[in-house]
Structure 1
Amino acid sequence: MAGTTVAGTTVAAVMAELAELEDPKARAVNARHGDDHGVNLSKLRASAKRLGTQQELALDLWATGDTAARLLAILICRPKIFEGDELDGMLRQARIPKVHDWLVNYLVKKNPHAEELRLAWFADPDPVVASAGWALTTERVAKSPDGLDLPGLLDIIEAEMRDAPDRLQWAMNHCLAQIGIEHPQHRERAIDIGERLQVLKDYPTPPNCTSPFAPIWITEMVNRQQAT
């Protein structure tokens, strides 16, 4: 389908526009986070706003494999109309951190197949895929925890988080923090797990930002809630 015209816009025209937006400084910054594109995300969002929702164009841009094009595709697609197997295939292609993150947060979370995908991905042997399952689980911990086995999740985190690959470890840690923040009955245990595992304790945190080290994260967010 690449090169077809959709609502007056060709894939070639969009790719040319993305090439013009390429910024070596942005690429260098992105590279430090494992992202291989050089387009400022504010400018990318402006392009998406101008293009509007265009599902067919989004599919064509995704098919290019280009990171900036895939990010733009996520912004202009219609999240609710994808089938579960389509999203599964897209996630398994999404190895770049920003593409993976946007795909889960902007597309999968808005899709009616989100829960079945969460269950399928959660224990996937591919740690990048599993991290998406954990991200969706963290969303449920915060917004719809009924039916979740929170002590069971803490058991898995306690047993596996310290030695998990980076992206999976990060997702597990987020889930740990969210359990501690949102569920007072599990807060002491969540903090204790974080203290014993020491995961992300030394992560460099900019001033005025919250540390991802779970005990600090939990304590700070609870204090904010109690202050309001």
Structure 2
Amino acid sequence: MAELAGLEDPRIRAVNEKHGDDHGVNLGRLRALAKRLKTQQELSRGLWETQDTAAGLLALLICRPGAFERDELDAMVREARPPKVHDWLVNYVVKKSPHAEELRLAWPADPDPVVASAGWALTTERVARKPDGLDLAGLLDIIEAEMKNAPARPQWAMNHCLARIGIAHEEHRARAIGIGERLEVFKDYPTPPGCTSPYAPVWITEMVRRQHDA
């Protein structure tokens, strides 16, 4: 904890706080520290229990994803309020856990928007990597019915799932684009030059074009 405190940079904190992340540690330096520590599950648990954001990020880099029980991961995702901690927890730990599929099924309907967004992130991963057995048409039904009025974080995750279905599955592409056009979610999202809009019809069309050009 003392070493993490020594890495604190007020300028980095000011930037991160604009995105809801209350820490001021350069992530490159954080990863270098994790590389030095290597995997240490008990240290990871101790760091997580401090509820300090930088310590939580370090904890996720040095843990063993398969060592967490299902209920432990459920509790952790409910504790992970800063967006960066939530993102790393889902991507670096939950997706690699043997409990990922069970949690993918349980979380999307959770009343906590942060938990629901984690469930949709896990579904997006399956859409892209292991779609066999998924009811893609059924997922599009849910997205069409719920995304427009969903809270911000699950709305973002559902939109990502919509785009991924359209990008990866040609047979559902026209419907995915049509849903995006009707709902108009993120249609006017401010997008920097050179970046792809999160508006699903634009996102899908651009990524498919890149695949064809590759």
Aligned with residue 137 of structure 1, among 123, 146, 164? 123
Alignment partner, residue 31 of structure 1: 17
Deviation at 1:22, TM superposition (A): 0.9
For residue 9 of structure 2, what is the amino acid of its counterpart? D
TM-score using structure 2 length? 0.98
**Could you list the runs of 5+ residues in structure 1 that have no partner in the other structure?**
1-14
Alignment partner, residue 5 of structure 1: none
Residues 112-123 of structure 1 mapped to structure 2, 5 A cutoff: 112-123=98-109
Q: Does structure 1 residue 159 correspond to structure 2 residue 145?
A: yes
Aligned with residue 88 of structure 2, among 102, 116, 133? 102
For residue 212 of structure 2, what is the amino acid of its counterpart? Q
Q: Does structure 1 residue 68 correspond to structure 2 residue 60?
A: no
d(CA) in 2 for partners of 1:80, 1:208: 38
Q: Let me know the Cα RMSD of the aligned residues.
A: 0.9
For residue 195 of structure 1, what is the amino acid of its counterpart? E
Alignment partner, residue 91 of structure 1: 77
Output one character per residue of 1:148-207: Cα deviation in whole Å (capped at 9) or x when no partner: 111111111111111111110000000000000011111111111111111112222222
d(CA) in 2 for partners of 1:31, 1:193: 34
Q: Does structure 1 residue 219 correspond to structure 2 residue 205?
A: yes
SS of aligned partner of 2:149: coil
Aligned with residue 112 of structure 2, among 126, 129, 141? 126
For residue 211 of structure 1, what is the amino acid of its counterpart? S
Percentage of pairs with the same residue:
78
Deviation at 1:96, TM superposition (A): 1.1
Alignment partner, residue 160 of structure 2: 174
Alignment partner, residue 12 of structure 1: none
Ranges of 4+ aligned residues in structure 1 off by more than 6 Å: none
d(CA) in 2 for partners of 1:33, 1:200: 18
Alignment partner, residue 193 of structure 1: 179
TM-score using structure 1 length? 0.92
Deviation at 1:20, TM superposition (A): 1.1
User: Alignment length, in residue pairs?
Assistant: 214
Alignment partner, residue 44 of structure 1: 30
Deviation at 1:209, TM superposition (A): 1.6
Output one character per residue of 1:8-34: Cα deviation in whole Å (capped at 9) or x when no partner: xxxxxxx11111111111111111111
Deviation at 1:122, TM superposition (A): 1.9
**Could you list the runs of 5+ residues in structure 2 that have no partner in the other structure?**
none
